[in-house]
Amino acid sequence: MHEFIKFETQPKYVIGDLVKMNLERYEFFASDNFRRYSFYSVGPKRRIKKTVVYSKVQEGPVIYNLAFGDEDIITGEIDDKIVTDNEDRDIVLATVANTINAFIDRYGNHFIFAKGSTPSRTRLYQIGISRLINEISTDFDVFGVIGDKVYPFKTNFNYEAFLIKRK
Amino acid sequence: MPAVKNTITKTASSHGIISETVKNHQNDPFVLKQAAAAKTLLNRPGVQEQLKELSKKYEEKA
């Protein structure tokens, strides 16, 4: 049984009608400027706060980086190196994908860049995307970067990073 | 468990969280480091060229 935690009131974000993905996800909360999103992964072991932050990394074409990881509830710092194993990987990934929709609704349909902080973390992203690609691709075009080339995402390829664009 | 379209099947409130204030700060060291890594990779010449082409295609489509 989790302890009761009372936070300050803030409206929850409601996903718009454009979302076609048919995936189970967590409810998430957005910051005032809709650049930072948090949700709780709840598994058999514990509850973990997950946070997604979007920051602009270039103009022409505009690209936003998606930083994602576990947030320390005390310090507010994010870390993606922690292995939480909460048995909800697909739900977490679907929730992150939904934050992309929420972000794009506010900031426009720009490219979103995602890369793990280590090659093994990027590989985990790749495995997750591969597992859900049929659902994800109803809303998004996904690309993978290898060397100095950008390819349409395919399963069984090892990419260095990913680019996502809403259809 | 079957997925349900556009439905939140895991709510925060069901775990005792009524609502949450999400901090705005963009200067988290992790976020800055990730953004720097993104810039480095995106600055590869071939990647920039392809992104410009892709961007054009999306603009034409729109």
- Per-residue pLDDT tens over the stretch A30-66: 888 889 999 988 887 788 899 999 999 999 899 999 9
- B11–A78 CB contact, under 8 Å: no
**Residue of A17, A56, A51 lying closest to A31 (CA atoms):** A51
Could you please report the per-residue DSSP string of A28-50? EEE-TTSSEEEEEEE-SS-EEEE
Q: Residue A50's pLDDT is what?
A: 92
- pTM of the entire predicted model: 0.83
Place of tokens 């930083």: A67
In chain A, % of residues over pLDDT 70: 87
Residues of B in contact with A33 (CB under 8 A): 24
- B44–A148 CB contact, under 8 Å: yes
- A7–B25 CB contact, under 8 Å: no
- A10–B20 CB contact, under 8 Å: yes
Q: Does B57 touch chain A (CB under 8 A)?
A: no
Amino acid at B49: E
Where does the pLDDT of residue A14 fall: very low under 50, low under 70, confident under 90, or very high at 90 and above?
A: very low
Distance CA(A137)–CA(A157), nearest Å, equals: 17
Residues of A in contact with B20 (CB under 8 A): 7-8, 10, 29, 38
Where does the pLDDT of residue A96 fall: very low under 50, low under 70, confident under 90, or very high at 90 and above?
A: very high
Distance CA(A61)–CA(A150), nearest Å, equals: 14
pLDDT over threshold 60, residue A128: yes
User: In sequence order, what are the beta bridge partners of A146?
Assistant: A149
In chain B, % of residues over pLDDT 90: 44
Give residues with Cβ within 8 angstroms of A144, minimum separation 6: A126, A150, A151, A152, A153, A154, A157, A159, A160, A161, A162, A163
Separation in Å, CA of B60 to nearest CA in chain A: 13
Q: Which two tokens stand for residue A126?
A: 């790749």
HSE-CB of A21 using CA atoms within 13 angstroms: 29
- Contact of A106 with A36, CB cutoff 8 Å: no
Distance CA(A61)–CA(A48), nearest Å, equals: 35
Q: Residue A30's pLDDT is what?
A: 87
For chain B, residues with pLDDT lower than 50 are 1-7, 16-18
Q: Residue A72's pLDDT is what?
A: 87
Q: Does B23 touch chain A (CB under 8 A)?
A: yes
Q: Residue B61's pLDDT is what?
A: 83
Say which residue, A148 or B26, is predicted with more confidence: A148
